[in-house]
């Protein structure tokens, strides 16, 4: 009797082990977001932006508007500039990320001819932006070797993303008395395009467009930024801007001359000293509020 009972128990255990060792059915790879080099599912593509704390006008006891330039050629800012072409893991440069959304019609951008963000008046289109980046469809004449006639053909030139080498940032620094801290919020960003002017034989630059930062936070929070020190600790573009992980210099502050730029009254080293003075004034304002 005991022997029969043990045989029955052994049979149930053996069936359980066999079922536990049964291999699962093949996974539907069409829904898998991972690439061949990923060993785990990354969460950045599913990120959500962190909303700003609620801010009342009565809570702001001091503020100052600042224009600054982020030079993408500097080493600390290269994670915004590269890769020029999208890579296998889906990572794109900051400019490529923006232009893809503008092309798809999911972002509104405004004319970049205005030097200051508060003077923006009209929206612009992807075709205009593409043209300002020396891209788009153009008609060119090609000589037919058989007949000698000039045939007209349409050629598409891709926008030169690598010529976008600066970002102009419009932001507001303010002191929030409710939370007792000095804070900053980016209001708008303007990419700056560098090009060669054959007429003057010099390199020049143009503002491509202005875009509200709040309009792109959802997008940037889902796009990964390369970390040269640790691939497991990458952040999003929104984290980069919110945590101020970039190097920049000030080019203007709000003033009685309607946001006159530093370059209009100072040059060379004097302009750099003036930019440092503005930055130091903001730091000293917060520092002087406290007693030690």
For range 213-227, the mean pLDDT:
94
pLDDT band at 22 (very low <50, low <70, confident <90, very high): very low
Q: In this model, does residue 21 exceed pLDDT 50?
A: no
The percentage of the chain sitting over the pLDDT mark of 70, rounded to a whole number, equals 79
DSSP 196: E
For range 170-199, the mean pLDDT:
93
Looking at per-residue confidence, does 107 or 119 come out higher? Answer: 107
pTM: 0.80
Bridge partners of residue 173, in order along the sequence:
64, 184
Computed over every residue of the chain, the mean pLDDT equals: 84
Q: For residue 119, what are the CA distances in angstroms to 63, 110, 113, 150? A: 19, 11, 10, 46
Looking at per-residue confidence, does 291 or 278 come out higher? Answer: 278
Q: Say what the pLDDT of residue 6 is.
A: 52
The percentage of the chain sitting over the pLDDT mark of 90, rounded to a whole number, equals 53
Cα distance between residue 95 and residue 84, in whole Å:
9
Structure tokens at 236: 């999003």
Query: What residues contact residue 219 under an 8 Å CB cut-off, 6+ apart?
Result: 97, 98, 101, 106, 107
pLDDT band at 18 (very low <50, low <70, confident <90, very high): very low
Q: For 105, list phi and psi in degrees, rounded to 5.
A: 80, 15
For range 227-251, the mean pLDDT:
92
Looking at per-residue confidence, does 291 or 273 come out higher? Answer: 273
Q: Which of 3-12, 108-117, 204-213, 223-232 has the lowest mean pLDDT?
A: 3-12
Give per-residue pLDDT as tens, 44-88.
Answer: 888 889 899 999 999 999 999 999 999 999 999 999 999 988 887
Q: Say what the pLDDT of residue 135 is.
A: 85
Q: Say what the pLDDT of residue 166 is.
A: 96
pLDDT band at 20 (very low <50, low <70, confident <90, very high): very low
């Amino acid at each position: 009797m005991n022997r029969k009972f043990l045989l029955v128990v052994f049979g149930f255990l053996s069936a359980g082990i066999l079922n536990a060792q049964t291999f699962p059915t093949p996974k539907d790879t069409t829904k898998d977001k991972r690439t061949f080099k990923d060993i785990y599912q990354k969460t950045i593509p599913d990120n959500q932006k962190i909303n700003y704390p609620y801010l009342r006008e009565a809570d702001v006891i001091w503020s100052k508007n600042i224009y600054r330039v982020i030079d993408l050629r500097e080493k600390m800012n290269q994670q915004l500039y590269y890769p020029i072409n999208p890579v296998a893991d889906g990572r794109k440069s900051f400019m490529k990320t923006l232009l893809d959304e503008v092309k798809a019609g999911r972002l509104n951008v405004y004319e970049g001819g205005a030097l200051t963000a508060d003077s923006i008046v009209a929206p612009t289109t992807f075709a205009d932006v593409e043209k300002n980046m020396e891209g788009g469809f153009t008609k060119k004449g090609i000589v037919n070797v058989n007949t000698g006639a000039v045939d007209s053909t349409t050629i598409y030139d891709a926008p030169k993303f690598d010529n976008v080498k600066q970002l102009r940032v419009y932001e507001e620094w303010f002191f929030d008395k409710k939370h007792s801290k000095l804070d900053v919020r980016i209001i708008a960003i303007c990419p700056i395009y560098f090009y060669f002017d054959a007429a003057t034989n010099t390199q020049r630059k143009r503002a491509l467009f202005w875009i509200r930062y709040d309009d792109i936070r959802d997008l940037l929070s889902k796009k990964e930024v390369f970390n040269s020190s640790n691939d497991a600790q990458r952040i999003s573009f929104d984290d980069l801007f919110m945590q101020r992980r970039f190097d920049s210099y000030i080019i203007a502050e709000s003033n009685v001359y309607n946001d006159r730029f530093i370059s209009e009254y100072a040059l060379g080293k004097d302009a750099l000293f003036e930019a440092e003075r503005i930055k130091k004034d903001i730091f000293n304002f917060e520092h002087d509020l406290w007693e030690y």
